[in-house]
């Protein structure tokens, strides 16, 4: 299968490209810079120059492929609404090209959106639907609807912590904040839960999705159903030799900055249906054992 991948040189994307190539697929990666293009060539992928803002490049990349995996997202939390809007535009652009082809189209979403719509403490499942008012919810619903228009569409909702060597996302940001503030903090009693998944397990899920996910399916990239945030803060504090402290929700934004809203989320999430549908089994270290390895704290 010739697979067009956006975000192919990111933390998750590089693992997805490797997973696809090792499974015998031909990968074409979207590259907006010479550096990204070089990274793709070294990995054994073809280069398709363009960006999320270059809609013609998205159209041509999607139309020439046997399937599409959309991983790219502008992680600009200073203007998150625009990032969400740009992502929706890219999703609609590629979706229109794929209508009536029967080709697979896999996009990326997040389990955190379920915390907007579920009662506190309820475990989220693949059956839970979000409305368009939820960030990235409209993109998810647009793609699910494509199944009725001749696209084998699916959505992979990733856990807030996609962890592993080289992670520069939420957990590495928490470590940086702890170093800067001199304490490793959690909010309230710290028993709100974050799901998590190793990036290599997530990469395998994307490969299985483009190969075999039923049209209109929601999939959960989740290995840890819910790690108490207090446990995450505890490991960080111990490795950095810093106090582990509770702060109030009112203090969270000042302490955590853009991460404040996410840190307080209680987002227990199941991947049982995903595992049943695709035979996906997470096999790599879960979040706390991965943190205990120490590679997050080597710099």
Residue 58, pLDDT > 90, answer: yes
Look at the pTM and tell me if it is higher than 0.85: yes
* pLDDT of 165 over the 80 cut: yes
DSSP-assigned letters across all residues of 221-259: E-SEEEEEHHHHHHHHHHHHT--EEEE-HHHHHHHHGGG
pLDDT confidence tier of residue 23, bands split at 50, 70 and 90: very high
* Residue 70 neighbours by CB distance under 10 Å: 27
Residues of the chain above pLDDT 70, percent: 99
Quote the DSSP letter at residue 32.
S
Whether the predicted pLDDT of 294 surpasses 80:
yes
Q: Is the pLDDT of residue 76 over 80?
A: no
pLDDT digits (tens, 9 = 90+) for 135-150: 899 999 999 999 999 9
- Copy the structure tokens of residue 12: 């998750």
Quickly tell me which residue has 């992928």 as its tokens: 45
pLDDT value at residue 79: 81
> What's the whole-number average pLDDT of the chain?
96
Which residue, among 137, 162, 153, 174, has the nearest Cα to 98 in the 3D structure? 153
Side-chain-side CA neighbours of 34 within 13 Å: the count stands at 0
For residue 105, list its beta bridge partners.
68, 153
**Degrees, nearest 5: CA angle 199-205-207:** 105
Per-residue pLDDT at 299 exceeds 80 = no
Give phi and psi for 223, each to the nearest 5: -105, -55
Give me the mean pLDDT over the 179-203 stretch: 97
Is the pLDDT at 67 greater than 90? The verdict is yes
Q: Place 53 in a pLDDT band, splitting at 50, 70 and 90.
A: very high
* Distance (Å, whole) CA 70 – CA 215: 16
Higher-scoring residue by pLDDT: 116, 30: 30
- How sure is the predictor about 80, in pLDDT bands with cuts at 50, 70 and 90? confident
Give per-residue pLDDT as tens, 224-268.
Answer: 999 999 999 999 999 999 999 999 999 999 999 989 888 999 999
By DSSP bridging, strand 224-228 and strand 193-198 are: antiparallel
What's residue 74's pLDDT?
Answer: 87
pLDDT over 80 (residue 218): yes
- Nearest of 95, 100, 3, 93 to residue 57 by alpha carbon: 93
Residue length of the chain: 299
End-to-end CA distance of the chain: 39
The whole-angstrom separation of Cα 215 and Cα 102 is: 9
């Amino acid at each position: 299968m010739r697979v067009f991948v956006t975000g192919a040189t990111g933390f998750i994307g590089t693992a997805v490209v490797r997973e696809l190539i090792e499974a015998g697929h031909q990968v074409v990666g979207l590259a907006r810079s010479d550096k990204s293009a070089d990274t793709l060539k070294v990995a054994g992928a073809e280069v398709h120059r363009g960006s999320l803002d270059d809609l013609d490049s998205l159209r041509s990349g999607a139309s020439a492929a046997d399937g599409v995996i959309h991983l790219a997202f502008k992680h600009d939390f200073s203007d998150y609404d625009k990032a969400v809007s740009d992502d929706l535009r890219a999703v609609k652009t590629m979706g229109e090209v794929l209508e009536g082809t029967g080709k697979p189209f896999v996009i990326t979403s997040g389990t955190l959106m379920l915390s907007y719509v579920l009662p506190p403490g309820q475990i989220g499942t693949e059956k839970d639907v979000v409305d368009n008012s939820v960030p990235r919810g409209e993109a998810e619903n647009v793609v699910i609807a494509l199944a009725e228009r001749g696209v084998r569409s699916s959505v992979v909702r990733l856990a807030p912590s996609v962890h592993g060597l080289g992670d520069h996302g939420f957990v590495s940001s928490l470590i940086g904040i702890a170093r800067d503030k001199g304490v490793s903090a959690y909010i309230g009693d710290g028993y709100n839960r974050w799901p998590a998944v190793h990036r290599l397990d997530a990469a395998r899920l994307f490969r299985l999705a483009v190969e075999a996910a039923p049209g209109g399916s929601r999939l959960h990239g989740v290995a840890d159903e819910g790690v108490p945030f207090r446990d995450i803060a505890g490991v960080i504090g111990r490795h950095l030799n810093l106090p582990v402290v509770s702060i109030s929700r009112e203090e969270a934004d000042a302490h955590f900055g853009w991460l404040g809203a996410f840190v307080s989320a209680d987002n227990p999430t199941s991947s049982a249906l995903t595992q049943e549908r695709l035979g996906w089994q997470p096999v790599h270290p879960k979040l706390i054992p991965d943190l205990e390895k120490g590679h997050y704290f080597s710099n």
